[in-house]
Amino acid sequence: MSEADIGGRVLPAGADPRIGIFSHIGAVALNGIHDARIRLGDLVVVFGLGVPGQIVVQAAHASGATVIGVDPVPFRRQMAERMGAARTCDPTAGSVADAIKDSNGGRGADICIEVSGSPPALAEAMRTVTYAGRVVAMGFFQGETRGLRLGDEFHHNRIELISSQISGVAPEASHRWSKPRLWEAAVRLQCEGRLDLLPLITEMVPFAEAPALFARLDQGGDPSILQSVLNFGTLT
């Protein structure tokens, strides 16, 4: 790791050490926000409200967008509204695209950001944006992406589909933004109070209980977990 990389990882004096937990995942979210190119007043729909999606919701709101969050888990939807979402949608309750357009005078969202890595969510995101809208795919899609329809709204609405990946900053910003700067910004924005990510920590577990924690996370099924943190005895 270079000196620049190390410098970008140093917390400011007096900062809550838990802020550093979000240096990398916060950088991933910020890179997605940059790729979305949000304009003040845009309607942005975020699909997937895990930790990265929650950060995207808050950062999009801070960028001046009206944000709608989409996730099947009630706890995550509640957290997204706390993070700045104007409202949320349950994708199991019906078509998100239809709900957005019905509430927006028939017009789709300006931007959809897909953070779950779920092919159905990406397909619905492409149905949800307006003509010449933008879809940012932050999720990683394993293997073949079945069920993705590239006719219909995607073709006829001239949708812009962008892949957002932390190791690749948008070319037009690459002379100004780098991965170390994204790390630094994710920390600095928290220290300045412009991002408040500590509410995403839903549990702190002693290091000795790490095997049980990982087993529990691997099993899944607990909707109340967002960010789990291992406590090495230095955090309170």
Tell whether 3 is covered by a domain.
no
Tell whether 39 is covered by a domain.
yes
On whether both 145 and 224 belong to a single domain, the answer is: no
**CB of 58 within 8 A of CB of 83?**
yes
On whether both 127 and 75 belong to a single domain, the answer is: yes
Tell whether 13 is covered by a domain.
no
| pLDDT range class, residue 1, cuts 50, 70, 90 | very low
Domain of 134 in residue numbering reads as 18-191
On whether both 75 and 119 belong to a single domain, the answer is: yes
Mean per-residue pLDDT of the chain: 90
pLDDT in tens, 146-184: 777 787 788 888 999 999 987 788 888 888 998 899 999
**DSSP state letters, 19-52:** GGGGHHHHHHHHHHHHHHTPPTT-EEEEE--SHH
On whether both 139 and 202 belong to a single domain, the answer is: no
| Rounded distance between C-alpha atoms, residue 123 and residue 201, angstroms | 30
pTM above 0.85, yes or no: yes
Q: Write down the pLDDT at residue 7.
A: 53
Q: What single letter denotes the amino acid at residue 77?
A: R
On whether both 43 and 123 belong to a single domain, the answer is: yes
CATH of the domain at 49: 3.40.50.720
Q: Which of 119, 128, 110, 144 is nearest to 40 (CA)?
A: 110
SS (H, E, C) 183-196: HHHHHHHHHCCCCC
On whether both 24 and 64 belong to a single domain, the answer is: yes
pLDDT in tens, 126-139: 999 999 999 999 98
On whether both 216 and 111 belong to a single domain, the answer is: no
Tell whether 152 is covered by a domain.
yes
Tell whether 5 is covered by a domain.
no
On whether both 207 and 105 belong to a single domain, the answer is: no
On whether both 82 and 149 belong to a single domain, the answer is: yes
Q: How far is CA 54 from CA 68, 113, 120, 194, 226, in A?
A: 11, 12, 19, 14, 9
Tell whether 236 is covered by a domain.
no
Q: Minimum mean pLDDT among 70-84, 92-106, 117-131, 162-176: which range? A: 162-176
First vs last C-alpha separation in the chain: 29
Q: How many structural domains is the chain composed of?
A: 2
**CB of 130 within 8 A of CB of 154?**
no
Tell whether 11 is covered by a domain.
no
On whether both 138 and 177 belong to a single domain, the answer is: yes
| Rounded distance between C-alpha atoms, residue 130 and residue 32, angstroms | 19
